[in-house]
Amino acid sequence: MSDQQGTIESHPLGAKTYPPSPEFRAAANQQDPSIYWRAAEDPEAYWAEQARKLRWTKPFTEILDWSNPPFAKWFADGELNVSANCLDRHVEAGLGDRVAFHFEGEPGDTRTITYAELTAEVKRAANMLTSLGVQQGDRVAIYMPMIPETVIAMLAVARLGATHSVVFGGFSAESLRSRIDDAAAKLVITADGGFRKGRVSALKPTVDDALSLDTGTELSVEHVLVVERGGNDVSMQEGRDLWWHEEITAFDAEHTAKGFPAENPLFILYTSGTTGRPKGIVHTSGGYLTQTSTTHRDAFDLKPETDVYWCTADVGWVTGHSYAVYGPLANGTTQVLYEGTPDTPDWGRWWEIVQKYGVTIFYTAPTAIRACMKVGRQVPEQYDLSSIRVLGSVGEPINPEAWRWYREVIGAGSAPIVDTWWQTETGAFMISPLPGLTTLKPGSAQIAQPGIAVNVVDDAGNPVERGQGGLLIVERPWPSMVRTIWGDDQRFIDTYWSKFGDRYFAGDGARLDEDGDVWLLGRVDDVMNVSGHRLSTAEIESALVEHHAVAEAAVVGADDETTGQAVVAFVILKSQQHLLTPENAEGELKKHVASQIGAIARPRQIFVVSELPKTRSGKIMRRLLKDAAEGREVGDTTTLADTMVMQTISDRVRAER
Ligand code: WT7
């Protein structure tokens, strides 16, 4: 069971809850609670009804095909173009002048892009990609900052029926290359660099490094398309590398979108699993767009005519895919797209943007809220945030203290907060309040979305009693579910479906309270959650032991006030090495992990130890290391081969705290 069980206390009896205000409810998209039972009675009919709100070039007649579990097909005989659903459809409905993006660069440059303009740009880009040989089924890697061209690139790839693999710009050359290799991408779209924390953070040089690595896999990449953004010096390899702004001029903005089958792969997104190798999560088209658009509309109570919506997530993560690109654009939303960090040039930046564009729906992560709390309410209080009417949270359980601060300071004490539980694998919201209907409980993600059924079960798959901790499962296939792990059907089966048959095992612990509301308790596997990002202990351990001075490594996720969890590593140095001393090891190995995986994986602390706690069969007992890293009394050590090891380690950790 989860080490984190009990981090979030079950809702204390009589603790304050927050019903929707009568005014909010009266104007809400969903104000009739019967939606839940109507959807539950016939989930397939419910999802088909949602799917028909999209534009299909060939209408579907089949809804769900679950004849070969766990490989689901939704709307399989239907055809649609995802990109045209996000663009042309709105322009043809007369909404071309509506702003799609208010782009705000970190240095302060801005760009307003209407749906008509975005559509034209995407058509042009689609023509350019066609000339580079991109066709249905091809994979295109996208390694970009948060700029309009990133969204344009994604939509252009989608428009051609090709499959994008967006790699977060903070990932290292090694991580980028392994993703390029795994998907055999033929094109990489990148930028010279982007702005981050007041400087240019280079991207193209990392792409160069990635492509020149000797990985033992033949390089699949034919071209690198480079957007000019940072203005930093880059070298362009003749014949391979092309400037976006030079190429694009040759293409016009006429492009007819073809329909592709509903199950055509839309994207691959890599995420950390319990083993060292990231998993390529595969999402397809019709079901994905159906559930992202439906949940975006209902959980945020979106009114596309008047709302200004801002999701602060980077498009390198699934939140950016589903709730900054596909869901919102399918709904014709006006969005803010911000390139930089919340503290550049100072911590007022986000709130200045909210004020400037009149943001009405704001979606971010608990770790960011806690960071803002630390800085103090006097910062947001300098700005007019009165436009905000709905707040969202994602990435980890939101602690009630942060919840209340968020509501009071950012939401003027009245905005509903939707705590959205979902995963890269689920593609879209699974558990979340509906703000016009749900009486909110700070800290709980609350209720499965209409048409979704979840439960909390024990190891044998039997529902646990209310109030008891257990494992979160999804009872039935859902439209935006992961279809497989790229190139590895067996791993897909093993990871999610081997435990409970054709019910999906999410990897999270959870508890249902007396009202049936869901409280998430954290991961039950070796996956850490740092600032709402998923990291694998195994992946960081293998990066550490790849260092020539390291003999053994164990990594745990330790509670952290700001980031939720933080990476804490314990390493044994090789005795025959002379390069690292216990004194300089910490700095060097932190750097090493950052360069192997990316800065997000950099451990908070690294302890050099002479032994690791192991069972007699040689298994590292990470639970004990976690106790030590969190400054707790170390748990039961009787199964250890050497019971003294943990004493030594705890003393070391305590000395540094
Ligand atoms: C894991 C999925 C989905 C977008 C961001 C992360 C945790 C996510 C919540 C929430 C409690 C949450 C879970 C989940 N998680 N949202 N609202 N409450 N936990 O996507 O990288 O695929 O991570 O994040 O542990 O399994 P991801």
ipTM given for this complex:
0.99
When pLDDT is cut at 50, 70 and 90, the band that residue 4 belongs to is: very low
CA distance 209 to 455: 46
For ligand 1, the distance from its centroid to the CA atom of residue 440, given in whole angstroms, is: 19
Residue closest via CA to ligand 1's atom 18 equals 397
Express each pLDDT in 19-47 by its tens digit: 999 999 999 999 999 999 999 999 999 99
CA distance 85 to 80: 8
For ligand 1, the distance from its centroid to the CA atom of residue 438, given in whole angstroms, is: 21
> Which of 24-38, 375-389, 548-562 has the least mean pLDDT?
548-562
For ligand 1, the distance from its centroid to the CA atom of residue 396, given in whole angstroms, is: 5
How many angstroms separate the Cα of 512 from the Cα of each of 346, 347, 449, 520, 635? 40, 37, 15, 9, 27
Average of per-residue pLDDT across 599-610: 94
CA distance 571 to 57: 57
Nearest to 320 by CA among 309, 308, 312: 312
pLDDT at 11: 56
pLDDT at 12: 60
pLDDT at 5: 37
Residue closest via CA to ligand 1's atom 1 equals 423
For ligand 1, the distance from its centroid to the CA atom of residue 563, given in whole angstroms, is: 13
Express each pLDDT in 304-340 by its tens digit: 999 999 999 999 999 999 999 999 999 999 999 999 9
Q: Ligand 1, residues 421, 454, 518: which to mutate, most atoms within 8 A of Cβ?
A: 421
For ligand 1, the distance from its centroid to the CA atom of residue 421, given in whole angstroms, is: 6
When pLDDT is cut at 50, 70 and 90, the band that residue 575 belongs to is: confident
Average of per-residue pLDDT across 619-648: 88
Average pLDDT, the chain: 94
The tokens for 476 are 């039935």
CA-based angle 515:516:522, to the nearest 5? 125
Cβ 75 vs Cβ 85: under 8 Å: no
Nearest 10 degrees: CA dihedral of 19, 422, 49, 486? 180
Express each pLDDT in 107-116 by its tens digit: 999 999 999 9
Cβ 241 vs Cβ 224: under 8 Å: yes
CA distance 579 to 126: 51
CA-based angle 338:342:346, to the nearest 5? 120
How many angstroms separate the Cα of 277 from the Cα of each of 36, 173, 535, 537? 39, 15, 11, 11
pLDDT at 634: 86
The tokens for 633 are 């009394």
Give percent of the chain with pLDDT exceeding 90: 88
The tokens for 288 are 């994905």
Ligand 1 lining (C-beta closer than 6 Å): 271, 318-319, 394-397, 419-424, 445, 506-508, 520, 523, 529, 532, 534
Residue closest via CA to ligand 1's atom 21 equals 534
> Which of 404-408, 494-498, 583-587 has the least mean pLDDT?
583-587
For ligand 1, the distance from its centroid to the CA atom of residue 41, given in whole angstroms, is: 28
pLDDT at 9: 47
